Amino acid sequence: MGLTVTEKIIANHLVQGEMAPGKPIAIRIDQTLTQDATGTMAYLEFESIGIPRVRTELSVSYVDHNLLQSDFRNADDHRFLQSIAEKYGLYFSRPGNGICHQVHLERFAAPGKTLLGSDSHTPTAGGAGALAIGAGGLDVAMAMAGQPFHLNMPEVVGIYLTGELQAWVSAKDVILELLRQLSVKGGVGKVMEYFGPGVETLSVTDRGAIANLGTELGATSTVFPSDQVTKAFLKAQKREDNWVELVADEDARYSQVIEIDLTSLEPMIACPSSPDKVVRVRDVAGKPVSQVIIGSCANSSYRDICVASQALQDRSIDRNVSFEINPGSRQVLENADVAGALKNLIHAGARIHQCGCLGCIGMGQAPATDTISLRTFTRNFPGRSGTKNDQVYLCSPETAVASAIKGVITDPRDLGAAPEVSLPEEYIVNDNGIIPPVEDGSSVEIIRGPNIKPLPDFEPLPEDLHGKVVLKVEDNITTDHIMPAGSKILPLRSNIPAISEYVFSAIDPDFSIKAREAGNVIIVGGENYGQGSSREHAALAPRYLGVRAKIVKSFARIHKANLINFGIVPMTFEDPEDYHKVQQDEELVIPGLRQALLSGADSVTVKRPSGDTFVVRLDLSERDRFILGAGGLLNWVKAQLSAE
């Protein structure tokens, strides 16, 4: 039986386990990336491992999230990251050089390579035929130390594309349609692999946009083949020597095949406040908008900027709309400028921001009260924009610019003739924003500002766990709920004591106080707990406050891995109805939890104050169990190293 592209890459990197869906495997990692919101902690973790240099083929430290320098903290973190890169042998992408996923796709992503990134949208590189996976910073630190990445072998779902996108319809509409069909839980435990004749009609940046939002399906990754389109893109980037052909075998088998006729698609839009609340644009057309932003790692490529520019030829932005552009990289900005795109945008009334994540992570660009904001972003979780009770819609650049012109949500087909953007045969490439690694960084001194605090030490798991249910939450809790982002909180990412004060603050502003008073804390939750960002602070900061276990109906992949890494035991209700029995503020006892973990038990009994009991499942690998018993991955690794 033939292999899919995903299976070929995994087979070429497999170091442990068997390629059977759901079985634990470990794969060798070729490349890593971090961004500044997750990178400071990842490098503190890497330092604690104690090796002199990264052991990957290539590792890159990007600064793209914490670009607002309202005080010393973000600037200090940037100097710390640059000195870390110089000492340990990483590339360093300067502040303002661009969003990590856009820059990595342009300058580093390569077919057949594995990439592990401390950002959930790392799968963007799948647009160039890589197997790219988002993970917590500690997993990325381990990969930089030469350790394999552990995960369960994913199912490979085939997305069979036919036809060709029509005028005013683009790649964003493809993935929005898939989110409409499958929901934010539809990709859990799966890699989405695209194939079929429709694939060759999509550019690499189109593919990257689709792969990027595959994360919102909950998917482990998204993979496209490496074909002549990939070769042309790499040649235009002056990286043709990175190209290899990589396609699925004709007799490859997928666990499921979903067919999408590109010709039949129309403009789609995700309504507040979830990426899967997708309808046709025409179903919500006419609603007034006050803000429109084109940007984020999903839609900030050369093509996206030029589409908006051409649509604005001889047109202006509506008087009541703030229309804003976040170019994905300096390369995008420079090439768009040479093509004359910036002139059109500026003349029409657009605001041009620096190349970075900005509003997508809540670092500025918050919308006005009780107004609609249309964004080409990745997520529209409640309050993520920085405005409470926000009304954020996710859409394509075409829908965005049409709505900015009309002042209301508009089907872009109403504008008439569609823009026709031709991609450059050769991009202007200027890597001055990327500092390459030095051969020997052993004498480099790490620069640490006063906001960078040491990693906390965590004790091993006790034999019996006594804990208070300090918080009980519903389905689809995101990492934004657990550990908010935004300009107030993001600068604290390298200071766990300080950032822990904001854990669950959007749900219960007094959570940190209650947690410290309780001692050992247990959180109870519903389905898809921990969806969204890869931010390990959503595990690390709660652990600092005393959270020792989470009992939920189901977990999102990355968050579950992060919990294990920091010694928080992830458990699921054997009977989901037991969720309704557990009450907030009651004391639970889990006798023999440590022994159950280390002995390989599949479940354990939880006692309630009433004397009732219920059973929770321990869906964990042998490695997971040892890590939890040690109190976290760093404890476990250090114990192994000291025993050698």
Supply 353's token pair.
């921001």
- CB contact set of 599 (below 8 Å; sequence gap of 6+): none
Together in a domain, 85 and 160: yes
Select which of 30, 59, 61, 65 is catalytic: 65
Together in a domain, 139 and 192: yes
Mean pLDDT, all residues of the chain: 95
Of 237, 264, 291, the residue at which a domain comes to its end is 264
73 is catalytic: no
Is residue 149 domain-resident?
Answer: yes
Select which of 207, 330, 379, 548 is catalytic: 379
Of 226, 241, 264, the residue at which a domain comes to its end is 264
pLDDT in tens, 199-227: 999 999 999 999 999 999 999 999 999 99
Together in a domain, 221 and 324: no
Supply 135's token pair.
């993970």
Handedness of CA 61, 48, 630, 153 (dihedral sign): positive
Is residue 122 domain-resident?
Answer: yes
Together in a domain, 241 and 284: no
Is residue 422 domain-resident?
Answer: no
Kindly state the average pLDDT of the residues 449-460.
Answer: 90
Closest CA to 266 of 360, 163, 157: 163
Together in a domain, 245 and 347: no
Closest CA to 525 of 588, 478, 565, 477: 477
Is residue 454 domain-resident?
Answer: no
Select which of 59, 273, 500, 533 is catalytic: 533
Residue 491's pLDDT is what?
A: 86
65 is catalytic: yes
Together in a domain, 199 and 293: no
Residue 641's pLDDT is what?
A: 65
Length of the chain: 644
Tell me: pLDDT of 644 over 60. no
Together in a domain, 638 and 531: yes
Of 212, 241, 264, the residue at which a domain comes to its end is 264
Together in a domain, 259 and 360: no
Closest CA to 305 of 338, 275, 274: 338
Together in a domain, 35 and 133: yes
Q: How confident is the model at residue 99 (pLDDT cuts 50, 70, 90)?
A: very high
Domain of 200, in residue numbers: 5-264
Question: What is d(CA 149, CA 17) in angstroms, rounded to the nearest whole number?
Answer: 12
Is residue 442 domain-resident?
Answer: no
CATH code, domain with 121: 3.30.499.10
624 is catalytic: no
pLDDT in tens, 510-527: 999 999 999 999 999 999
64 is catalytic: yes
Is residue 417 domain-resident?
Answer: no
| Strand ranges of the sheet holding 14-16, from the earlier edge strand across to the other edge | 14-16, 24-27, 149-152
Together in a domain, 291 and 161: no
Select which of 64, 76, 173, 411 is catalytic: 64
Kindly state the average pLDDT of the residues 76-87.
Answer: 96
Query: Which residue did the predictor score with more confidence, 643 or 396?
Result: 396
Closest CA to 171 of 208, 200, 124, 196: 208
Instruction: Give the total number of structural domains in the chain.
Output: 3
CATH code, domain with 539: 3.20.19.10
Question: What is d(CA 487, CA 378) in angstroms, rounded to the nearest whole number?
Answer: 18
pTM, full prediction: 0.93
pLDDT in tens, 480-504: 999 998 878 888 888 999 999 999 9
C-alpha 182, offset from chain centre: 18
Tell me: pLDDT of 640 over 80. no
Kindly state the average pLDDT of the residues 460-473.
Answer: 96
Is residue 165 domain-resident?
Answer: yes
Output the CA torsion 572→578→579→582 (10° steps): -110
Residue 339's pLDDT is what?
A: 95
Residue 457's pLDDT is what?
A: 87
510 is catalytic: no
Beta strands in 335-382 (DSSP E): 351-352, 372-375
DSSP string computed for 177-212? HHHHHH-TTTTBTEEEEEESGGGGGS-HHHHHHHHH
Together in a domain, 186 and 284: no
Residue 66's pLDDT is what?
A: 85
119 is catalytic: yes
Is residue 36 domain-resident?
Answer: yes
Together in a domain, 227 and 278: no
Residue 334's pLDDT is what?
A: 97
